[in-house]
Structure 1
Amino acid sequence: MNNIKLTITFTEIFIILLNLEAFSQSKREESFEFEKRIAPSMITLGIDNTVSKNNIHNRLFPDHNGVVEYVINPSFSGYYGFRINLLENNTYTIEVKWVDDWEIVQKRMVTEFPVKESNYRVLQTKSKQEQEEILRYNREQYSKRFQKAVSEYTIKTMDIPISKSLADQFLETYVSLIEKHINKGVPKISRDGYTAIFRCVVEDEVWNFSIKNPLGIFKELTNICDKIVKDVQKEKRLNDSQYVEQLEELVKDKE
């Protein structure tokens, strides 16, 4: 009987520990690297503030701020995204853009800006000064690759009309999710993966929310935005009502 009781006790403790670990995992999954920036939407009257757009974002969507903007920068493929624009006749379009020749440009950059071998075995044979020089040289070469590649990519564009209801729901969803996001725990730092940028104009402000490897509800938003990009590329149209419903559900889930 005592053995049975002891077995039950250990089983109960094991289940409790599993539940605690699962809870801990769920807490960690809500934490990711992000940067939230809010600035005036205009520099001067009639000139949009695009200062917070990085090189990649600015290459895709320069000149002005859309109602909302979405940009994805993967580590090992071409970047892409969309911008929703309000036209002078009070109609909306979604402007989808993507890099069409990422691999070709990357191969050219590797040839044009070579780096020195810097694995552990090689560095161990070098003096500390030589190690630092190799690493510094490689950092400079990688930076040159990135800067030149951004300017040389071929950008493809596709622009289609969308409904006011979809444009409005996108703005509402962006505002709700960005405004209510609170960091939980310590984020896992990752060098690879992808960065997602969600940008929107809120009255006289422009909100820029940049995330490294989104999780939770922002991962769901990323999936919706990615599907929109693919739909525009392949079908050249959107099922607006379908996406309005999906975005509405995200806002409800956050409440």
Structure 2
Amino acid sequence: MSYSLWNDQIVKDEEVVVNKEDRGYQFGDGVYEVVKVYNGELFTAEEHVDRFYVSAEKIRMTIPYTKDKLHQLLHQLVEKNKVETGHVYFQITRGAGARNHVFPGDEVKPVLTGNTKENPRPVANFENGVKATFVEDVRWLRCDIKSLNLLGAVLAKQEAQEKGCYEAILHRGETVTEGSSSNIYGIKDGVLYTHPADNFILNGITRQVIIKCAAEIGLPVKEEAMTKAQLLAMDEVIVSSTTSEVTPIVEVDGTVFGGGKPGDWTRKLQVQFDTKIPKGIRA
């Protein structure tokens, strides 16, 4: 038996019912987060929850729970499902009301749901690297909001999958932004480059950890946009996300990096990232 989060309760999965008038279902009117679980412990939960509230504020939604209450619920959900290595997904929508583009009145309350999944770390990808492909970034201009509106990302990821690639590297014109569900980095002559955290990308929590790791291992970081040509000229390329962690990209549309093997700086970042992972709260 598995359990889900439904508003302020932990309930059996089958007890969660989505109203057909829910604005998340009809408009994608909501925001979400995904938090990694290592050894039964939530990783960077505070940063994810903080961003959850910021995203909600940006779409003019008030979350009807304190951050402390949400943290408590997330920890309870992970414990109840006995998750060891995996993640917890949670989202909030503006609620269920008569279909209308205009916000509903105060009588309509936001709906919070969440669930967990047990899944191993993708160690083979860390060791061997992955392939990626360029896809035009056709999403809206508020990519800093982690909203439920993911159709642009879905189409890009599908295109990548059909080309036998792990990720789509999005670009607006010649400017690289991020991945369809990740952040993208290039390393050239001992400097790490990544797009600045503006409205064109989501400021990934793992991205923030990687930037800290880079400082700790003496790898300078420049938060500035790369062109497609500049990315293809990098010594090393990396993709990161909550579930991808620090994953090397060894090929983009036929251009191979480092002889098809992860580079030295990438390896160093992986090792440093591993030092941040919780060692566990269970015996």
TM over 0.5: no
Larger Rg: 1
Q: Report 1 or 2 for greater relative contact order, CA contacts < 8 Å, sequence distance ≥ 6.
A: 1
Considering fraction of residues, name the structure with more helix.
1
What TM bracket, shorter-length normalisation?
under 0.3
Q: Which has the higher strand share?
A: 2
